[in-house]
Structure 1
Amino acid sequence: MRKIYQLSFILLLWIGVSCGGDDDPTPSTVNNPPDTEKPKIQLLTPEENSTFLVINLIRFNTRLSDNVALGTLKASLVSSDGSRSEIMEPFIFTDAMNITDFTGSFYPREIAPGTYTLLLEVLDRQKNMAKDSVAITIHAPAINQAEFENAFKKNTFYYYLDWGWFGFDFINGVEFVKSQFTYGLLMMMSMDNYINKDQWEKFVKDFQFEKQTWASWDKDGNGMLDDIEFHQGIEQLGLFEKWDQNKDKLVNEKEFVRGIFKSWDRNRDDVLSREEYFEPFYTYLSLH
């Protein structure tokens, strides 16, 4: 269920298209000269020479038009040696559309730090092509708590879910009362309220919950933790009380992010190295 939910969600996020023109079928070319006019493309964002953290959700926005009908949009990162990394599946305009704004996004998870050309290519239905591009840099420095807070706010799944559907009210940002707190953690691993032993073992290791045993959490011995068992396990850690720094019976966003930061800061130097944040971020906080 989680994979299906996330796939649908990412597709909705990646493809934000506002349309112009009409939905009539492509005009007949009988007795008309062949279309040799190139489409037009304008990459609106990001700006030239923008720099992104390796855990940033990188968004791009482009304006497309054609004299007849748009065909396909491709997006890739091109390295200095000319090699390409596709950052989304080619998007095919199935309707007869001649003008649109297109919004996409991607994580540079598989991209090595460095400077790249973000290249967008649009083809019309006669395969005429136009391109636009900007240079961007991806880096992976050590980050302090403030930088991690900024990354959390802009790039994690917490800011892209409809939390009202789950009964949460995040008017003041991501925050949890005690009864909701464990759900905020459980959703890092599962949207269907169950986690297996492998997920649990990785979780307690990554968050440094020492001296825990699977048997003490899996009360019914069925090899899975449901939301109640997970809640009881978190309760026995006293984690809500530890993360609620100001003791107001609410873990606000700053406290929640600080709790994650401190858990991942294995050498206690008040910064997260790439090795400390990269893999856990993509395991627990990214959109996929």
Structure 2
Amino acid sequence: MIDKPLALKGPSRPMVRFSGVSKSYGDLKVLDSLSLDIDEGEMVTIIGPSGSGKTTVLRMLMTLETIDDGVIYVDGSPLTHMAKGALLVPADRHHLRRERTKIGMCFQHFNLFPHMTALQNCTEGPIHALGLSKQDACERAEELLSMVGMIDKRDEFPARLSGGQKQRVAIARALAMRPKVMLFDEVTSALDPEVTGEVTEVIRALVSEHNLTMLMVTHQMGFARDISDRICFFHNGRIEEQGSPQELFGSPRSGRTQQFLAAVNEAF
């Protein structure tokens, strides 16, 4: 990767910016010069067929994957790169660790620590990564567990929680790190239909009550329609089409988008 001219912050910067980002695995190009801006407080959902690059977008934002070209910015600062004189160079581990604190992620399979209670799951990160005192971390965790309706389960271990309860604790744990951006990777796919509504309502509350920027990947079109400000349909590592839920689901322009939505509707 070559060095890039340093990009300065601007007053109208988006909260998340993908600028010409590409990623390949051998001969397979997963993302092809992706450019995408996400505004502060916006909820953007990525949909598309398997292998279209959806989850790779989230993994790159979490710095779980490196990029081959382009730059990712979060809150006006480069995430994947750092300043060196007048140039941007690939970020070192220290820079990535610091910038990653701006981002929280909830996974499909919860990833809670099985040997810790719900409360301990929510205090571990703030104590060890943010340097909060145990008392301050507990107060923050209790506030968040109350927000997601799980304060009565604060002393329960994950094995004693339902899928919907685990996912709500996972959301509280991510929020305990005070991120500016929240990522959701198929957060309702592992849940029974009757408990999906629990998690949906929590995310709706985050959208309406907190100024969080959110990026979500899902295969559940009803969920995407209900909760998103904007939907991006990915195909072959590019944004094939994007728009409001009403635009994209009501009158998709691209033939590939129409084909995908017809197949999804047929499956359900």
Scaled by the length of structure 2, what TM-score is found?
0.30
> Structure 1-normalised TM-score?
0.28
Q: Which has the larger radius of gyration?
A: 1
- Greater helix percent: which structure? 2
Highest RCO, 1 vs 2 (Cα 8 Å, sep ≥ 6): 2
